[in-house]
Amino acid sequence: MSFGDILCGRIVSPLIELDEKKRIIQEFVPGKQVTLCHVIANPNESLYTKLGLIDARGAVGIMTITPSEAAMIAADVSTKAAAVEIGFVDRFNGSLVITGDVAAVEAALRNVMQVLCNMMGFSPAPLTKT
């Protein structure tokens, strides 16, 4: 067997084995969109631990944004707009979790929505609260 045999496609079975592996492909629809903007006003104590927010207390704000890189902008805007802490930001999936008192979390999320939707042309999601 020579390198030429491999290049000419004569060795097929090892390549087929590679094709049998399962692959997950994640695609986003083109466009700019806030898909979720929610405040959990009074979370159960166990939620902080489950989310890895060990020292956090108060309300939890959650956002999901496409394109995912906009989560970095949302994190920056939220911390400048109100007294909130970043619990989690994922620039690959577009998620942002912030914590603080209810009024601060709501103010931060409203400010992020204003910047993303009014200034940058993102499609909005309603700000919801439980």
Contacts of 76 (CB under 8 A, 6+ apart): none
DSSP state of 91: T
Q: What is the mean pLDDT of the chain?
A: 85
Tokens for 48, please give them: 């902080």
Bigger pLDDT: 24 or 97?
97
Domain 33-129 sits in CATH at 3.30.70.1710
Q: Is 9 exposed, middle or buried (0-12, 13-18, 19+ CB in 10 A)?
A: exposed
Domain parsing of the chain, residue ranges: 33-129
With cut-offs at 50, 70 and 90, classify the pLDDT of residue 54. Answer: confident
- Write down the pLDDT at residue 82: 97
Residue 8 has pLDDT above 70, yes or no: no
Per-residue pLDDT tens digits for 110-123: 999 999 999 999 99
Q: Cα(14)–Cα(123) distance, rounded to whole angstroms?
A: 47
- Write down the pLDDT at residue 53: 87
Query: Whole-model pTM above 0.85?
Result: no
